[in-house]
Copies of this chain bind each other. A is one copy, B any other.
Amino acid sequence: MVPNQVPLSPLSFLDRAAEVFPTKIAAHRPAAEPVTYADLWDRALRLAAALTALGVGKGDRVAVLAPNDVELLEAHYGIPAAGAAIVALNVRLAPQEYEHILRHAGCRVLIVDRSLREQVEGVGDHVEELETIVEIGSGQGSAAETDYDDWLARTSPTRARLGLPDHEDDPIAVNYTSGTTGSPKGVVYTHRGAYLNAMGQALQFGLSPGSVYLWTLPMFHCNGWCYTWAVTAVGGTHVCARSFDASAALEDIERFGVTHLCGAPIVLSSLAEAGVDQAQPFTHEVRAATGGAPPSPAVLARMKTLGVEVVHLYGLTETYGPSLVCEVQPAWDALDDEQLAEKQSRQGVRTINVQDVRVVDGSLEDVPSDGEVVGEIVVRSNTVMAGYLDDPEATAAAFHGGWFRTGDLAVRHPDGYVEIRDRAKDIIISGGENVSSIEVENVIAEHPDVLEVAVVAASHAKWGEVPVAYVTLRGGSQLTEDEVIAHVRKRLAGFKTPKAVVFGDLPRTSTGKIRKNELRDLTTPLT
């Protein structure tokens, strides 16, 4: 052993937190007593020992299908401590999708919460590799093969610490992309990458031992953007919420003194809606990080009223979650709310732990920083995935030219800030002109009656494609299609104006992204 070469691993975070803050609350739980860091550490050690006893070790993968509760949190430590990688499963998939993932990842063990057991009923019959299913919360007399709590209780920790992987480049997790298109791919995270993104996020988001982090983001989503590890790194407190409910979240924020939370824009807009009657801002500082789409000016304004500071992030599953952050500049103090919202709607600049983010043309040349020319965002970082599991072709395509290709199209502004214009497939080409669906969406979202909006292409006999808007209105609004169209027409060129407006709820992925492909399928050709 040498004293100066230690593999980087988030496992060291929980070992340290248990050592330094043993009696501090590691996690509040919705339906049970909180657990201390000594508890959480003990549970993770037991989980590791229980898996080891099943023969799970290096190179294996263990799946967990569970809501945001302490079992999923501890699995982020116990499973890697056994040498395996965690596969945290999206809770909203179809049975065939679970089968596909479990088979593809070769999971030997599945830990499933009782509330989600039905979704994987019979999956064991179709996945040969799957040897053991452990059920969380099955309780006495259940038909479950193995009850999770019993399993941990009858296993003794076999080591004094969670320890470290042999190599920092060993896998720690495999995250299956939510798959709005194509088959889900298994994105491989390493201990090194997870450590570095957790440290970077903790620093970037201002975590400290006094931080209280509310789990409004699913832990299965990029391992909770690595906050499963980052919050533990500083010895902060996790607040588990098994499902997102805006009113409950507002209560939790007051009750537990929540200082930080993350979520898709729908999380923020729901909080804004639920908090509309809350006249007073929170009595303590709250920061909310959001990504997936820019926070709208309306949401930013409402958050300000609530005393919540919004941090806009951008990233993908392939980048361990956030890779860009809209860093606030000192000069922005002088801006009014509208100008500030415009600045904050941009995805921003690379986070501290990211080496490089560029916006490039087809020859990998930087586009000019003019806020006009659109290119593809490419990333270079220790926090870019190791690759897609058992998919060298897809990996090679994603890494073509020595950069990770995000597939997201953006401009770079003169101040260096990146702003997404569209996913390649979200560009609407009308009469040979490119229409950014996001640009149209932003304009419609400015209307005070509009809660949410998505714009997609409808095929059109004359123009090739035209924009169609799907709009969710605020309660009580009587806004009409003509009024929406007139609102846009006032602000944008004719070819960018939707030719049809459909009112109703928007379909979403389980991570809160709007399923634009579904909307596209719904959209009939126009003439």
A207 CA / B380 CA spacing, docked (Å): 25
Interface presence of A330 (CB below 8 A): yes
- The residue among A12, A13, A328 with the most chain B CB atoms within 10 A of its own CB is A12
**Mostly helix, strand, loop or mixed at chain A's interface?**
loop
Q: Are B402 and A355 in touch, CB under 8 angstroms?
A: no
Q: When chains A and B are docked, how far (Å) is the Cα of A202 from the Cα of B203? A: 7
Partner of A384, one of B3, B23, B208, B209: B3
Contact with B along A234-271 (1 / 0, CB 8 A): 11000000000000000000000000000000000000
A233 pairs with B352, CB closer than 8 A = yes
Q: Is B381 within 8 A of A209, CB to CB?
A: no
A300 at the interface (CB under 8 A from B): no
Contacts of A12 in B (CB 8 A): 355
**Contact A234-B380, Cβ < 8 Å, known A16-B350, A350-B16, A402-B3:** no
A 395-452 contacts with B by CB, 8 A: 399, 402-404, 416
Specify which of B4, B193, B206, B352 is in contact with A404 (CB 8 Å cutoff): B4
Q: How many copies does the complex hold?
A: 2
Complex Cα gap A394–B236 (Å): 40
Please tell me if the beta carbons of A3 and B352 are within 8 angstroms of each other in the complex. Answer: no
Given that A20-B349, A199-B203, A350-B16 are contacting pairs, would A399 and B3 also be in contact in the complex, using a CB cutoff of 8 Å? yes
Contact of A203 among B234, B349, B350 (CB under 8 A): B234
A3 to B, closest residue via Cβ: B404
CB-based nearest B residue for A199: B199
Q: A3-B399, A3-B404 are in contact. Are A416 and B19 (CB under 8 A)?
A: yes
Contact A3 B208 (CB under 8 A): no
Say whether, besides A203-B199, A203-B202, A403 and B3 are in contact (CB < 8 Å). Answer: yes
Q: Contact partner of A1 among B203, B328, B402, CB < 8 A?
A: B402
Of B8, B13, B350, the residue contacting A382 (CB under 8 A) is B8
A385 B23 Cβ-Cβ under 8 A = no
Q: Mark A209-242, 1 if CB is under 8 A from B, else 0.
A: 1000000000000000000000001110000000
Q: Which residues of B contact A386 (CB under 8 A)?
A: 4
**A334 at the A/B interface (Cβ < 8 Å)?**
no
Seed contacts A13-B352, A22-B416; 5 additional CB < 8 Å A-B pairs: A2-B399, A2-B402, A4-B386, A20-B350, A199-B199
What are the 7 closest A-B residue pairs judged by CB atoms, nearest first? A1-B402, A4-B384, A3-B404, A6-B355, A20-B349, A3-B380, A3-B384
- 26 A–B contact pairs at CB < 8 A? A1-B380, A3-B379, A3-B380, A3-B402, A4-B380, A4-B381, A4-B382, A4-B399, A8-B382, A12-B355, A16-B349, A16-B350, A19-B350, A20-B416, A21-B327, A21-B329, A24-B329, A24-B330, A199-B200, A199-B203, A202-B203, A203-B207, A203-B233, A203-B234, A206-B208, A233-B352
Q: Give the B-binding residues of A (Cβ under 8 A).
A: 1-6, 8, 12-13, 16, 19-24, 164, 193, 196, 199-200, 202-203, 206-209, 233-235, 327-331, 349-350, 352, 355, 378-386, 399, 402-404, 416
